[in-house]
Structure 1
């Protein structure tokens, strides 16, 4: 019998997740708020930079939107690193936002590529299936045409929602799993999807609460997102720690 090599490597993280109670959603949000109030000035500065980046990308037609999807996991990883530093009582820095460009950058960028491709396919499919009705209704220039156009828009919106939700489930925990657990991108997407599916009721409740919070955050000219963004980042980190036993 051969001796095992020393040092003995720890077992590879499997990505196994656990089911949690719906009430844990409120604990995630409370932890998100607690993460924010530790250093609100730095968090707000990070959110301002993030918003400026995405607004700048939005100015560029098509390519900018694709680039935004590409960068989303990388910037999300930076926010998660910041959350972990707060949880470990380390000093939070604005530069933490770009931690994803310094650690596991390749896998995080691959997550962005897969996310970008997924959202692009959803957009093309919605355009192919519902765009014709919308355009045709508008071209008719009559009340009947307007009704057709509205119907086409509603069908497109519902179709986009139905197709984008599974992608959101797959990407939800993927940056954390790639960054903190060194999971390959595809495995991280599968583990994230399975975790969300196992806790589908909790995430439905979380999603409804976030929709309400987004409504109120948008009222003061969108300034509420400077606070809501970090709170949600902290809540996502808390949910990751809660659902993945080896996190």
Structure 2
């Protein structure tokens, strides 16, 4: 197992290749994406314990989605139960990853309290915000601080479920490798982020807005239909970038050519 360093243009391809993967089995891919989200929402409903349990289950369900994407990619026929296949692979490490991610996220929110007195924390908890408090400079600084601090947390989590599930790594080691894999591939991830903004938000918004001026009813239909394609495509793109960076255990790698730094070559 080695984290490959990919060129910038691969980030542009992840979303389009995710769309191609969705088109190969739209029913299963759509079920995996919305089944993942619905399961977490249902678990989160329970008072007090719902949110923590949902956080612990996130890596387990994420692995199930990745297993489903892998099955589609390899042309294997699987059923909807593959969403819960993560419960059969290194569950202790997956739950530990969820726990570490939860604690780190709570620490980030706690640190933002020093900037805005807890306004952002209240907003994240579903509380009603005071419009005047939102306009305060402290709230803006808290948002920027939250983004800056949560980025390395997300980097450590990004590949961790598949590293724990497919390569059987313990939670700390999986998150360590995930962080440095993201850091090493910041260029394609930057291109990926731009592609998500353009094709996942800006362009669909423009299209729906223009259609709404001509045919409002059609715009309403598109508002419901577009997420049915975009959300599964987004989940499929997670698998594509994981396949590119780490490959598939025991299989021929489909990713772009490995880019090696001069420093790595000397090593």
Gapped regions of structure 2 (runs ≥ 5) = 122-130, 209-221, 250-267
The residue aligned with 1:228 is 230
Show CA shifts across 1:69-107 (max 9, x none). 222111110010011111211013211111111222111
**3-state SS of 1:25 partner:** helix
Q: Cα RMSD (Å) of the superposition?
A: 2.7
Name whichever of 63-72 and 74-83 sits farther off: 63-72
Alignment partner of 2:178 out of 182, 187, 192: 192
Where in structure 1 are there 5+ consecutive unaligned residues? Answer: 1-12, 136-144
TM-score normalised per structure 1: 0.79
1:92 to 75, 78, 96: 78
- Provide the rounded CA distance (Å) in 1 between the counterparts of 2:229 and 2:120: 37
Give the TM-score taking structure 2 as reference length: 0.74
Does residue 210 of the first structure (1) align with residue 206 of the second (2)? Answer: no
Q: Deviations over 1:105-157 (max 9, x none)?
A: 1111111111111111111111233226889xxxxxxxxx9378532221111
C-alpha distance in 2, partners of 1:223/1:62? 34
**C-alpha spacing 1:184/1:206, structure 2 compared with 1 (3 Å):** same
**2:169 aligned with 1:183, yes or no?**
yes
Measured in 2, the distance between the counterparts of 1:61 and 1:129 equals 28
Q: When the two structures are aligned, how many residues end up with a matched partner?
A: 224
CA contact (8 A) 1:32 1:238 kept: yes
61-70 or 170-179: bigger deviation: 61-70
